[in-house]
Structure 1
């Protein structure tokens, strides 16, 4: 099965210049926990998650309406191409302890995202998905 067959198309993106509040509102409005971040050429340059906002902004008592995304984005996320087999996305999730893999074209424009939920619903690879979830759930070492 190909990544393009199970990815969730990206309905909205943000830029580095947008505020954390803008990204949070996009997440709320679309009922998602992430927003891809693109540059002026619409090329994927990062991703921000609801967890990033909670830990780095809210828990630090910063003002989301004043904070720019450029300071909180995870840069250069691991990606797959639409024609890649989903096993590549699963391997990236396991290896790097991430729950989402952006799908980009040859010019790095974000076409969609594959999440663990997409894999659970869209495939019959229960054992492989369980292993990925198990690996992702291992606490990361603090930096």
Structure 2
């Protein structure tokens, strides 16, 4: 099974010069915790609710003045729409990430795949369960 068969299509995106207030409002309206950051249809980063909370709010950045580029994760992990589900599950488990942008072979955003997509649509329940366990294993605190 290929990721294109289970991914969520037509995802909303933000631009890197959008304010984090705009992005947060969009996340709230869509009830999502991640937004791909695109230049046109080209993926340049991802913004998560955690990025807004940890990188912006904890630093006291003003939501109307702080841009998505200031707090987004640039050069995020992604997969191709023709990648096998198993390899994407391994990527997610190895990196402990719950959502992965999906691009086509021209590097244009075509969707996003989440643990929820894997859990509801993937045929190999054992692989999904193993991935969920590995993704959810507590990581060590980042204490630099």
CA distance in 2, matches of 1:71, 1:78: 18
Which residue is equivalent to 1:34? Answer: 34
Structure 2 unaligned blocks of 5 or more: none
SS at match of 2:79: coil
Does the C-alpha gap of structure 1 residues 10 and 76 become closer, same or farther in structure 2, counting only changes over 3 Å?
A: farther
The answer as to whether partners of 2:11 and 2:112 remain within 8 angstroms in 1 is no
CA distance in 1, matches of 2:139, 2:74: 18
CA drift at 1:126 = 2.2
Moved over 6 A (4+): none
Q: Distance in 2 between matches of 1:125 and 1:52?
A: 32
| Deviations, residues 62-115 of structure 1 (Å, cap 9, x unaligned) | 221211111111111121111111111101101111111111012211110000
List aligned pairs for 1:67-86, cutoff 5 A. 67-86=66-85
Return the offset for 1:11: 2.9
Mapping 1:123-142, distance limit 5 Å:
123-141=122-140, 142=142
Measure, in 2, the Cα distance between the counterparts of 1:32 and 1:9.
14
Q: Which residue of 2 aligns with 1:24?
A: 24
> Number of matched residues?
142
Q: Distance in 1 between matches of 2:59 and 2:106?
A: 36
**How does the TM-score come out when normalised to structure 1?**
0.91
For 1:32 and 1:140, the matched residues in 2 are separated by 23
Unaligned 5+ runs, structure 1: none
